[in-house]
Structure 1
Amino acid sequence: MLAKLYHTNTRLLRYMILPVLAMILTHLVAYKKLPFDPEYQFPLLTFSFVLLICAICCEANFICYGEMRKKYSKQDFNSRSITTQLLISGALTAIVFGLLIYSINYFVFGVVTPLTRFLSSLLIAELIILLETLYFITRDLYLSQNTVESVPSKATWQIVNGRKTQLIEEEDIAYLFSQSGLVYLITNSGRKILTQFNSFNEVKNNYNLDSFFQINRQYLIKLHAIDTVMKEVNQKLQIKLSPSAPEIPAAAMISRYRSVDFKKWMTQ
């Protein structure tokens, strides 16, 4: 049941829950009447605005969470990053919710929301966003753990080329090179071996690549394969690899967008 919930499309799940949530908040917080109360009329306008506010706040939090997750690798998914995420989500919700509430009440209904009512409504909004963010965090932790478990951690690589199978110890691999849908393995001794893989993604699906770093679309390298690192213009880096291999350039460029992560990886 838990696995099925975590694999459910997040936006689809939100679109299913938000109308129900907006209906509850409309009747208990905004309209303060239930269907069996005297003189009850369905508050369509209020319901529409509550649904709109909930949708915008949740969507803003969803985008914010996605951007924050891009800054942290699986190894950085710790208590500090989680606390930072919760604080940023809370602050963003307060800003977005405040702008929406005061704007709608002032420009649509012509009233200024009392501070006490605003704070009580904000508390409910923060609780909703907190639950949504905790769902995202537990989902990603669950999925990352299962992904790590599903990728075999093999010390020996099996390289199949036609009817021939070679066994290569992972510690003997210097780097991988991809070109025209072919992936080559370069050993520490400079041997160039054609693999059965067509992309780095296929390699990742079969072997644990925690000790590798993808510097660009063509190179997936190990730390010991780096000979020199030179700074180029526009904060780019040029990496000279060792050993060299036939018909494979010994130098590779890293864009300034990847250079920060590369420097961090080198110091680990």
Structure 2
Amino acid sequence: MKFFLNNRDTITRYTLITLLCLIIVHLMSYNKLPFSVDYKFPMVSFLVILSFGLILCSSNHLLVNKINVNAFYSEKKQQHFFVDFIFHFVITTIVYTILYIIINQVVFGFDFILVNYFKYLFISLLIILFEYVFRKALLTTKEEVIVVVKDEILIKNGSKLLRPKYEAISCFQSSGGIVTIFLNQFTSEKTTQFTSLKQLDEVLPKTIFFKVNRQFIVNKNAIKTVKNDVNRKLRIEVKPSTIDDKIIELNVSRYLNSEFKAWYSS
């Protein structure tokens, strides 16, 4: 699912991050609360921490979407959560270190103080943790319950309810937070109620369907050819039964080459 689900969700997320930065800067940096004696709003500290939080959250989003994290863990939810958490932790630490050195030493010319480095790293990780938990909770509330009956899957196409059999499905495509299903007839492409391939990948039979990359899940019976491509990738052709004989060409993620070959030959 796309990180920016819609404008309302984005505004909600960044509002929460701003409020969290306000709380953290008062409790952990300024150490004074409003209405205290000699209280002045810590504008500089607040802007620095807020900037760090927003940049780190955006960096997490961009890098997580660029790197195929799914290739590094199995389908077990516990391992999924652990690797996902470690991945965000590593990204945050790297980006924070770069920002800290640039802002603290290059821009302001301050000395590198190890205590301050770890102090603000902890604050940044705390912001990321809250943002990560919120995003996971938000995605969970938006997930559709996927109903699979024998060799069929229930698809909502507008106000219609479709029940295509597995053998009639060519592939699924995810783009812009919308999942599209291609049936054996290329002209019968349909939008679905799903927002990510992950939802489908967890329930579709692994012997028939394979998630070749972040955008496509294909049916083994719809694959016509498999060829070697550049950068150790595989290129496959998915050919629905159509009058105009159109062909869909897809790249298999190079991290999944071995797994795909074993699946396709089985």
Normalised by the length of structure 1, the TM-score is 0.61
Counterparts of 1:211-250 in structure 2, within 5 Å, are 211-212=208-209, 222-224=219-221, 229-231=225-227, 234=230, 237=235, 247=243, 249=245
For 1:95, what is the secondary structure of its paired residue? helix
C-alpha RMSD of matched pairs (Å) = 4.8
* 1:201 aligned partner, one-letter code: T
Which residue among 182, 199, 211 is the counterpart of 2:189?
Answer: 199
Could you say if the C-alpha distance between residues 220 and 34 of structure 1 is closer, same or farther in structure 2, counting changes exceeding 3 Å?
A: closer
Higher alpha-carbon Rg: 1
Instruction: Give the conservation status (yes or no) of the 8 Å contact 2:147–2:153.
Output: no
Deviations 1:190-226 (A, max 9, x none): xxxx79x841435989x986544698xxx98643455
* 2:85 aligned partner, one-letter code: L
Q: 1:32 corresponds to which residue?
A: 31
Q: What is the alpha-carbon distance in structure 1 between the residues aligned to residue 64 and residue 107 of structure 2?
A: 31
Q: 1:87 corresponds to which residue?
A: 86
Could you say if the C-alpha distance between residues 260 and 27 of structure 1 is closer, same or farther in structure 2, counting changes exceeding 3 Å?
A: closer
Aligned residues: 232
Q: What is the alpha-carbon distance in structure 1 between the residues aligned to residue 105 and residue 131 of structure 2?
A: 29
Normalised by the length of structure 2, the TM-score is 0.61
Q: 2:125 corresponds to which residue?
A: 126
Q: Which has the higher contact order (CA 8 A, sep 6+)?
A: 2
Q: What is the alpha-carbon distance in structure 2 between the residues aligned to residue 16 and residue 38 of structure 1?
A: 28
Structure 2 residue runs of 5 or longer lacking an equivalent are 155-162, 172-181
* Percent of aligned positions that are identical: 20
Instruction: Give the conservation status (yes or no) of the 8 Å contact 1:231–1:238.
Output: yes
Q: What is the alpha-carbon distance in structure 2 between the residues aligned to residue 41 and residue 84 of structure 1?
A: 42
Structure 1 residue runs of 5 or longer lacking an equivalent are 1-5, 159-167, 178-182, 186-193
* 1:153 aligned partner, one-letter code: V
User: Offset at 1:83?
Assistant: 1.4
Instruction: Give the conservation status (yes or no) of the 8 Å contact 1:90–1:126.
Output: yes
Q: What is the alpha-carbon distance in structure 2 between the residues aligned to residue 16 and residue 203 of structure 1?
A: 28
For 2:110, what is the secondary structure of its paired residue? coil
